[in-house]
Amino acid sequence: MPKAIWKGAITFGLITIPVGLYSAIEEKSFRFNQLHDKDKGRIRYKRTCSACGEEVSYDEIVKGYEFEKGNYAVFTEEELQQIPADSVKAIDVVAFVPLEEIDPVYFQKPYYLAPEPTGLKAYKLLEQAMTDSGRIGIAKITLRDKEHLATLRARDGVFILETMHWPDEIRQPEFEELSKNPEIRKQELDMARNLIENLSDSFNPESFVDNYRERLAAAVQAKVEGMEVAVAPTKEPTQIVDLMEALKASVEATKKKAGEDADSKKGSEKGSQKARSA
């Protein structure tokens, strides 16, 4: 069982549910170390003081907020821990809302919440009640010296807590180009709608794979086996000259693919029927 990265409780009203917080994602990207080209030694970084040039140990480091150039408000870890937070050891649920009311731009990082043995019944009760209501919880939690807004929702019998950005952390989209309004012809809009319709489908996450990571894994394996890494030429994206023609071509291509997929599915079904009758 993975180790909890935080322990506390879900609180709503007068109910308290002891829980542990666990990471819900496992990063699959390749991580490269920096090496010295000459002898392949790892590159190390030292903590040095910009004023005196000395190497500094962790117990000599304090935190400073630069309120103006070159001037800092300095805090020790003890001072920071004394600043009160409403959600240091609690996931404080303050409201229950429909999920569709939340813009995905707010979402940050998901975690699993598992109950402690003493909180199992209350955990299951809240999970069932929230599932029946069709609503999710809006909560606050303090992680790594920062208070987060978060959502709490049930999925397959387990609670997922997803940290969120605060509203004042979301930048306003200010792009000069978007103030222009080019003329969009009805035929172009109709073609674009047809293209969307042809590509419409149910979301099936298992159908998506990280192709770049697979190619990178193959390249790493080739290096390990002492082979040369073959580099495929990069195809430059086609520049759109005529939007209407590009839309027409896209619609035709999606129609063709949809037909091929349908034929392939029929072929698979016929093969299965023959196998069953044999």
Determine contact, residues 17/91, Cβ cutoff 8 Å: no
The DSSP line for 139-179 is EEEEETTEEEEEEEEEETTEEEEEEE--GGGSPP---GGGG
Check residue 200 and give its pLDDT: 87
Integer-rounded Cα Rg, in Å, for the chain is 27
> Could you give the CA distance from residue 148 to residue 139 in angstroms, rounded to a whole number?
8
Quick one: DSSP state of residue 262? H
Predicted pLDDT at 260: 76
DSSP E strand stretches across the chain: 6-12, 15-23, 63-68, 71-75, 90-97, 107-115, 136-143, 146-155, 158-164
- Structure tokens belonging to residue 157: 């019998």
pLDDT at 100: 93
- Count of other CB atoms within 10 angstroms of residue 93: 22
> What does the pLDDT read at residue 189?
92
pTM over 0.75? The answer is no
**5-26: per-residue pLDDT in tens?**
899 899 887 788 999 999 998 8
Which residues, listed in sequence order, are joined to residue 92 by a DSSP beta bridge?
11, 140
Q: Taking the C-alpha atoms of 62, 66, 71 and 73 in order, what is their torsion angle to the nearest 10 degrees? A: -50
Q: Is the Cβ–Cβ distance between 107 and 170 less than 8 Å?
A: no
Structure confidence by residue, pLDDT tens digits, 159-216: 999 999 999 999 998 888 888 888 999 998 999 999 989 888 888 888 888 887 888 8
Residues of the chain with pLDDT under 50: none
Q: Domains along the chain? A: 1-30+43-170 (2.40.290.10), 180-200+208-277 (no CATH)
